[in-house]
Structure 1
Amino acid sequence: PRQQLLVSTPVIVHLPLTPPALSPLILTPPTQEHTSHHPHPPPDMPDTPTHIVTLEKKWGYHAANGYELNNNTWGSAAATSGSQRTHYDGPTAPSPTGSVGIAWSTDWEWRGGENSVKSYVYGARQFRRRLVSEVAALPTEVEWRYSTWDVRANVAFDIFTDPDVEHANSSGEYEVMIWLARLGGVWPISEFKTPIAQVEIEGHRWEVHFGYNHGGKMKVFSFLPVGGPIQSFRADVKRFFDYLVAEHRFPAHNQYMLVFQLGTEAFTGGPAKFVVSKFIADVQ
């Protein structure tokens, strides 16, 4: 049987932090001190799953089993050439707790504008919006693979929060990203071009970055894994919010959780296949 979910108390290591100045940094290139994590080349991909639904149009959408899938190629205009297709590959087998997730995959190739995001294709959990302070747990299980590491891309959770429960799901007052991989030297939104802290959460050590997006209107916290890509991740994502509340004054009592997404931001490279063999998530 699968082990029970282990919840660890964050162990915090503070790095020097200067009070942030409001400026709309969108993307900064990698520095020599912060290079991309390149593990050994991945083995051959597993057999291509049978696709139940294929999304080819920009923002193509499919919902099933309490989840949704979006072929979100929002930045494709920055590419000189390329395309992306996303596939719904069916439900997963139930977890030991009875939760059922989805399997999905996406094929992409993009050229030009290497520092511009071309897409964030994602799977998302559907849920009733509620204040972050009212969320008891965000249990999740993810297993993913890339067919090649020779791309500029990430793999990341993306969560928006906002005081307005009816806010659009494409932004918020806050954005929290939890990266499971950073490939090809891509970089998070970062005001200082360096982490503001390091922290251990759910058995992994993370760099914490802070910056602004949407012209300085959205505050962005990004967690990057210190030890390289995490291809099998089982955790309570609420622990990241607990850390932000305790150490960075995140206002959980007036922020509604808007979305709970897991996907890949594609910059350039390919042809590449990103396969999520399991994405199980819940908002409790």
Structure 2
Amino acid sequence: MKLALVLATLTATAFSQKELCAQYDSVSSPPYTVNNNLWGKDSGTGSQCAYIDSLSSLGAAWHTTWTWNGGEGSVKSYSNSGVNFEKKLVSDVHSIPTNVEWKQDNTNVNADVAYDLFTAADKNHVTSSGDYELMIWLARYGTIQPIGTKIDTTTVEGHTWELWYGTSIQAGAEQKTYSFVSATPINSFSGDIKPFFDHLTSKHDFPASAQYLINLQFGTEPFTGGPVTFTVPKWTATVN
């Protein structure tokens, strides 16, 4: 037992303070991954690095520092923690329990803090986009807004959300995006993501029996501002 505890501790801290500064730097400790993911950096000027505080099978703890200017309406990056899981139809998913704590030292910026999930009819679809995207915005800073227009206000998992819907072209195909947006920051969230899909299925005709869940991540989308340090002391997620 003592040896197991020591090994678990070593595993949990194996990637402590690993620096990720290249555009698509990432580090994994199954089932979790931390990604720098500066996918939109060419729409402005600036810099961003992500740092792993701990990463193991027990969860992810990390932070990112960023400063971005120009391209006010464009997302510059999505530094995030993600989890690997068996892809299955959304209708076959029983629950998606998750727990996150986060903080941000500068809120005078344009940025959001969000879960990002993709689904696709093709189980082998690339995981960087999908037929559908589900975003859960735990915070929105500045003048930014989700893609599309507001279509509803609802309560899910004990919180009230604005629901937005819009479309975009990703990987040469239309992607439909639903965004649940909190009016005030939720710095600690412990709940189940499946009820968000259930709401879309029952109220907005989301085809749960024809869409595979292919990706699940949590992070921040900077538009402009900084310097900022965004910190995630704890993040876990599971697809059951």
Global fold match (TM > 0.5): yes
> 1:62 corresponds to which residue?
27
Tell me how many residue pairs correspond in the alignment: 224
Check conservation: 2:160, 2:182, Cα contact below 8 A.
Answer: yes
Task: Determine if the alignment matches structure 1 residue 223 to structure 2 residue 180.
Answer: yes
- Richer in strand (by share): 2
- SS where residue 266 of structure 1 aligns? strand
Deviation string for 1:152-201 (max 9, x for gaps)? 100000000000000001111100000000001111001x3xx2111111
In the alignment, the residues of structure 2 paired with residue 145 and residue 246 of structure 1 have an alpha-carbon distance, to the nearest angstrom, of 33
SS at match of 2:78: strand
1:110 lines up with 2:65 in the alignment: no
* Runs (5+) with no aligned partner, structure 1: 1-49, 93-98
Higher helix fraction: Structure 1 or Structure 2?
A: 2
The residue type equivalent to 1:271 in the other structure is: P
Distance across 1 between alignment mates of 2:160 and 2:144: 19
In 1: Cα distance, 2:59 partner to 2:237 partner: 7
Task: Note the residue ranges of structure 2 that are not aligned, 5 or more in a row.
Answer: 1-14
Matching residue within 191, 202, 205 for 2:157: 202
SS of match in other structure, 1:245: helix
**Residue type matched to 2:223 in 1?**
F
The residue that corresponds to 1:236 in the other structure is 192
Shift of 1:64: 1.2
- The superposition leaves residues 28-70 of structure 1 with CA deviations (integer Å, 9 ceiling, x where unpaired) of xxxxxxxxxxxxxxxxxxxxxx943111100101101410111
Matched residue, 2:130: 172
Q: Secondary structure at the match of 1:187?
A: coil
Q: Give the root-mean-square deviation of aligned CA atoms.
A: 1.5
Counterpart selection for 1:121 from 50, 71, 79 = 79
TM-score, structure 1 as length reference: 0.76
Among candidates 45, 54, 67, match of residue 90 of structure 1: 54
Q: CA deviation at 1:214?
A: 1.1
Contact 1:59 1:73 in 2 (8 A): yes
Contact 1:71 1:85 in 2 (8 A): yes
* 1:84 counterpart letter in structure 2: Q
- Give the structure-2-normalised TM-score: 0.90
Query: Matches of residues 1-284 of structure 1 in structure 2 within 5 Å?
Result: 51-79=16-44, 81-91=45-55, 100-190=58-148, 192=149, 195-214=150-169, 217-226=174-183, 228-284=184-240
| Structure 1 residue 128 displacement after superposition | 1.1
Contact 1:56-1:84 within 8 A present in 2 as well: yes
